Chain A
Amino acid sequence: MTPDPAVTVVVPTRHRAASLSRALDALGRQDLPGGDLEVVVVDDGGGEPPMAREAPAGLRVRLLRTSGRGAAAARNAGADAARAPLLIFLDDDVEASPGLVRAHLEAHRRGASLTIGDLPARTEAATGFFAVTLRNWWASMFAEMRRPAHRFTFRDILTGNCAIATGLFRELGGFDASLRCHEDYELGFRAIRAGARVAFCQSAAGVHHETTTLERSLERKRAEGRADVALVRKHPEVLSCLPVGVVVHVRPKEPRGWRGLAFDRPGTAGAVLAGLRRSLEAFEALRMRGRWLRRLYLMLEMAYWQGVAGEVGTRAALEDLARAAAAAPARPAWWLRVDLSEGLAAAAARVDAARADGVVVRYRGNPVGALPPVPGAEPLRGVHLRAAVSDGLAWPLLRALGQSGDAAIEERGGRLAPIACLPREALDLR
């Protein structure tokens, strides 16, 4: 009998034999002892079995079938069959780097319970401006998560390349299989609320062979619109973090203009999108990047609102949803107070220990500012305080330093000026 593996990799797949065998080949090349890894392929497509040829030698692969119940159900089935204490969800279009599994494993051994791996995109089907935009979109998302001071929220949880402790996944009851999109956000929301420690893992990289076209992006946006409505119904407090939240938080008349077409004249929205599509081609031929990009964003937003409208129906129903979400009882936020005169290291350590939702920052009793609570975000950590101090809270901190007389700074007509050239004696807040 073979010993239990250390990691189970779950790969859901649907009618993509070629990319699946590329994914399995890459899993066969992991720099990890062979017995430590098992792979569960979950075929959600039906028809022909997805493995066109043998799995790579030495790789333990099991095949399950869920026949069309969606990716969330497929991943749940894979997780149910898992024998390892760590689950890695990998999409079938991801080609794992040799260190992917080991990097996730090590991050979990260091205390993380939910890790997101890097997914540099290779845009294959798209060309021209769209390919550039698509690649940048992926790159920006991961560049943001790579910042040490990034505060993770449920919207960072992507199942293309992520690892979660099997115990935590089962405690949470897995993915909500009724969602056909954003089921990863939904799981992320519950995981973070349950205290999961989220981390980004750059060395757990997998190349994402992105085959999206503009048509598929629009279809995806419609699915996101539908999913976001379902998400708000389930967890009302996330409303303000989703694009649909603009209904209550920015202007009451949103969505307006073209974006509102899906509500006001649903029959014409499709024709308008087709017209815009043609204008995109013209702008690209003329190399008018700014107009092209604004047009693309408009189209994606229109598709999103089509999805929202398809799910809720009318504007009145959308407003009811927003009102109900705003009235829903929210979990009270935990606040921590720190005073930076105790030193930044000490204050940061207190933030790390408290795991608070919000932090009020003072200096010798003078107000500096706050790190506010964010729905669906991880508790604040010391690095968040450190980053805020040299960024958003910097100006009020300088003023508070001057007011307390600890640094030779004075305010002159709205500007801060160093007195006597500069605070000569060293002030050390480390």
Chain B
Amino acid sequence: MSALTQPVPRSLAPARSRPRRRLNADAVAGMLFVLPAVLLVGLFFLAPLVMTGWMSLHNWPLMGVPRFVGAQNYLSVARDVRFWHALAFTVEYTLVVTVAIFAVAFPLALYVERPRALNGAYRTAFFLPVVVGLASASLLWIWLLNVDSGLFSPAVQALGLVDHPRPLLGAFGSAVASIIVMVVWKTAGFTMVILLTGLQSIPGEIKEAAIIDGAGPWERFRMITLPLMRRTIALALIISVAGSMLAFDQFYIMVGGGPQNQTITAVYWIFNTSFVSFRLGYGAALSIVLLVLLLGLSVVQLRFLKDPDGVR
């Protein structure tokens, strides 16, 4: 496309050498236009990325001189039971929360896709929590979940369902369940909009043809909607999985990694290593391991996105 957009030498141009000089000036202008963006990305993203790799080969304290230790940090990572425990917890959380988000978002997308009165208002309502920050949402739910001054426990008590409610964030199971409910509330609207774009891209004629052929709603959903939405579903999946694998805010704010450090996620463990224990080199090695795992996960999911026989 850009071949056509080349500034064509105007008939007004007097000299033969003009087009060439003009092209150079244009190239310089273009480079100047993109320079600030490239500099920022280079300085605050690519340089730290390279530094992460470099630091991971060092024993790097906050104060004092870094010492080169080769692959020793990576050997320590392999033996770091608490990191692998944190990673296992993060994977379990990701699986459950992703299923929960889709279980809510898919019906909502199907619901708001059909034309009906108030549809715009419903979409806005379902989407509203998405623009509230994760930190605000976490703080909000700490209050709602509080056993004395919150909403759920006193409400359940007032209805006479429980005599002595227990703190929901005090036990592992109920804490994780509460956090998952909060995250589903906050992110279902986002996934819903992504899925909605996929639903709306299915040509109406295909649906109508299936109806004429006598396909029931479930058959149409399985044989038409799902296969035609493969790309959209994969995209929503990648976004949800990547976001959940990097979970930190809600676990830090709502439960502080507790009870008994059972809800420390992978990013939380890296945060503790680097910025609480100040073992920066080791934290960098953990970051690289997490980065490689996540990139691998994305590649697998992207393959699923491209594979025409991925679904069925």
Q: Do A and B bind each other?
A: no
B→A interface (CB under 8 Å): none
A→B interface (CB under 8 Å): none
